[in-house]
Chains A and B, each alone.
Chain A
Amino acid sequence: MIEQIDYWPMIFVFMLSTFIGVGVIRRVSRLLHTPLMSITNAISAIAVVGSIIVTGSEHPTPIRILGAIALFSSMTNIVSGFLITDRMLKMFKTQGPKVKNK
């Protein structure tokens, strides 16, 4: 039996989310371009979803090994991406500790 997949909705989703992405990201402060890159990195590690399915399903072992490596890579990106973004964002302050700034 052939799995029938209606791919047109996916293409629409892709088109619309690209527009949303462009619209949202154009407004991101230039100050924050480095944290922006690290957070989008963490978010695109949503590939973790695909990796979990490949690793956890009833598949031959070599396939699951590939999945496990992919899962490890995605998880590394999620953990380090969110942690470092937060670490950087914490540093952005309007006032230094000693100097009065208006």
Chain B
Amino acid sequence: MIEIFTQISYVLAAALFIFSLHWMNDPKTARHGVFAGVGGMLLAIIATWAQPAIIVHHVWIVIAIALGFVVGVPLSRVPLTAVPQRTALSHAFGGLAAGLVGTAEFFLWLNEAPHNLTTFRMTAIIAEIVLGYLTFTGSLMAAGKLQGVKWIPQRPVTYPLQNVTNIGLLLLAIGLGIALILNPAQAWSSTAFLAIIVLALLFGVLLIIPIGGADMPTVISILNAYAGLSAVAMGFVLNNKLLIIAGALDGSSGLILSIIMCKAMNRSFVNVLFGAFGQVQAAQVTGEEKVYKAETAEGAAQLLEQANLVVIIPGYGMAVSQAQHKVRELYDQLKKRDITVKFAIHPVAGRMPGHMNVLLAEAEIPYTDLVEMDEMNTDMPQCDVALVIGANDVVNPAARYDKTSPIYGMPIIDADKAKTVFAIKRSKNTGFAGIENELYFSDKTWMLFGDAKTVVGELVKHLS
């Protein structure tokens, strides 16, 4: 009887999860998605817990769930600029949970019923712990890099034979895994198992060390896929189809986001994971000294006032200086003058997929004015003023034709097609990829040097 109740709940939960993601296709229905997700999750938890034959210890469950709330609630209140870190951290938790459950199940069966460690199950367990633990440390590293933790280097770290070391480690782990799958219950089994865990933990760290901040959107997406796949593997181990479905949904989401991110940077997975972006380009020699044309906020404000269509191109610099609320004031000022204002959002702007949209939505800018890159580019020739706020590589025209440029082939927002370009930039340093941006030296470009928030604030002051 209870078994039937459990299975019905699992079926319903799976359906609710699919609806939950389906409703995310439109901002209007998206919040239903959250309710469906919560409903599915509650059903699954209650159905699992209410199995008197299996669950006999309740105190620990209550304590663990309570602690989950204690940590989870503050984690959901972080500022939106910190959402990438939070997301990475939750991938880490997901990976850890999968790894620990896999470990527990292995030792349980090894000690009590080694004949249950069938080839299929062992394969699933090995996949679960390798994916789980490497996601755990990899995501912790990514979260650390995003948060700017001091002892984790921000810039990519490379050393000789890096890729050989990494791949060697992974092959060693896989080799040990295969040996275990073929002989699950030997005297050396638990040692080999622990060795695989250590290798997976180490591999996660080494995988993320050479990756720089500009690649974080891709890396976070890949780690998302890994976390999902480790949940799938757990489903195979526990013979639980709900886990497989939910894990597969998460995995495919990570996969699709990774593909979108890679396309938006014109790079492959392999290149992101083993390419150490940002390091290679730093060695590039810059040619003759070029001259920027600087403009004052007052002059820029005058030009903005006369425009019909203003396109604002935000980048990570806007997030860093928390300028989104000032940008909103600028938006209001321009709207008051009946100027059309659009935001052109590059898919990799920010530190995770969709990051810019969330920041601008927080500043209460209507999402109907947030426009995707491709859609915006068709209108760029009509644009009177393009205002680049803390973005760099995503507006570099060199991506279109300069085959020697590391960002060659990357789709960009055609800011250079606008009649006038204002670029707000903190310093004269090059962007994340370490490349000179020729847009800044163009005849129609004027630079506004300074912190994004201060400069936008001054623009607002001159307009009001």
| A interface residue numbers (CB < 8 A to B) | 2-3, 5, 7, 9-10, 13-14, 17-18, 20-22, 24-60, 62-64, 66-99, 101
> Measured between C-beta atoms, what is the minimum distance from A75 to chain B in Å?
2
- Chain A residue numbers with a CB within 8 Å of B254 are 40
Which of B80, B238, B243 has a CB less than 8 Å from the CB of A88?
B80
Given A33-B357, A44-B231, list of 7 further CB < 8 A pairs?
A5-B121, A39-B33, A40-B21, A46-B44, A49-B238, A53-B54, A74-B97
A44 to B93, CA, bound (A): 11
Measured CB to CB, the nearest residue on chain A to B98 is A47
How many inter-chain residue pairs (CB < 8 Å) link A and B? 387
Q: Is the CB of B68 within 8 A of A76?
A: yes
Query: Of A30, A36, A43, A80, which contacts B372 at CB under 8 A?
Result: A30
Closest chain-A Cβ to B49's Cβ sits at a distance in Å of 6
Contact A83 B93, CB 8 Å, known A28-B24, A40-B253, A71-B68 = no
Q: Which residues of B contact A33 (CB under 8 A)?
A: 257, 260, 352-354, 357
B238 in contact with A50 (CB, 8 Å): yes
Measured CB to CB, the nearest residue on chain B to A20 is B18
B256 at the interface (CB under 8 A from A): yes
B248-273 contacts to A (CB < 8 Å) = 248-257, 260
What 0/1 pattern do residues 7 to 49 of B give for CB contact below 8 A with A?
Answer: 0000001100110111011110011011001101100110011
Q: Give the CA-CA distance A56 to B59 in the complex, in Å.
A: 9
Contact A35 B354 (CB under 8 A): yes
Chain B 66-89: CB-based contact to A (< 8 A → 1; otherwise 0): 011101110111101001001100
The answer, among B68, B248, B357, for a CB contact under 8 Å with A78, is B68
Q: A17-B245, A69-B100, A73-B94 are in contact. Are A53 and B108 (CB under 8 A)?
A: no
Question: Interface of B with A (CB < 8 Å)?
Answer: 13-14, 17-18, 20-22, 24-27, 30-31, 33-34, 37-38, 40-41, 44-45, 48-49, 54-58, 60-61, 63-65, 67-69, 71-73, 75-78, 80, 83, 86-87, 90-91, 93-94, 96-98, 100-101, 103-105, 107-108, 111, 113, 115-116, 118, 120-121, 220-221, 224, 227-228, 231-232, 234-257, 260, 328, 331-332, 335-336, 345, 347, 352-355, 357-358, 361-362, 364-370, 372
Q: When the two chains form their complex, are residues B361 and A55 in contact, meaning their CB atoms are under 8 A apart?
A: no
Least Cβ distance of A36 to chain B in Å? 5
Task: Enumerate chain B residues within 8 angstroms of A79, measured Cβ to Cβ.
Answer: 68-69, 72-73, 75-76
Residues B86 and A22 in contact, CB atoms below 8 Å apart? no
Question: How far is B429's CA from A70's CA once the two chains are assembled, in angstroms?
Answer: 45
A41 engages B357 (CB within 8 Å): no
- For A98, what are the chain B residues with a Cβ–Cβ distance below 8 Å? 332
Top-6 shortest CB links A-B: A75-B68, A79-B72, A33-B354, A21-B252, A44-B250, A83-B76
Contact status B61-A10, CB under 8 Å: no
Task: Point out the residues of chain B lying under 8 angstroms from A39, CB to CB.
Answer: 20-21, 24, 33-34, 37
Are A43 and B24 interface neighbours, CB within 8 A? no
Q: Are B248 and A14 in contact (CB under 8 A)?
A: yes
Given contact pairs A76-B68, A94-B366, A68 touches B63 in the complex (Cβ within 8 A): yes
- A84 vs chain B, min Cβ distance (A): 4
**Distance, CA A28 to CA B134, complexed state (A):** 28
Complex: A18 Cα to B368 Cα, angstroms: 31
Can you list 18 contacts pairing A with B, beta carbon distance less than 8 Å? A7-B120, A14-B244, A29-B27, A31-B354, A34-B357, A40-B228, A47-B231, A49-B240, A51-B101, A53-B55, A66-B100, A82-B37, A82-B38, A84-B83, A91-B361, A94-B368, A99-B335, A101-B369
Nearest residue in B to A100 (C-beta to C-beta)?
B335
Could you say which of B31, B97, B116 contacts A51, with CB atoms under 8 Å apart? B97
Q: Is the CB of B94 within 8 A of A89?
A: no
B78 to nearest A CB, angstroms?
8
Q: Which residues of A contact B248 (CB under 8 A)?
A: 14, 17-18, 20-21
Q: Say whether B257 contacts A50, CB under 8 Å.
A: no
Tell me the smallest distance from the CB of A76 to a CB of chain B, in Å. Answer: 4
Residues on the A chain within 8 Å of B69, using CB = 75, 79
Q: Is the CB of B244 within 8 A of A17?
A: yes
User: Complex Cα distance A13/B370, Å?
Assistant: 38
Q: With the chains together, A43 CA to B228 CA distance in Å?
A: 9
**How far, in angstroms, from A97 to B335 measured CA to CA in the complex?**
13
A11 to chain B minimum Cβ distance, whole angstroms, is 8
Cβ 8 A contact of A42, one of B41, B221, B328, B355? B41
Least CB separation from B355: chain A residue: A34
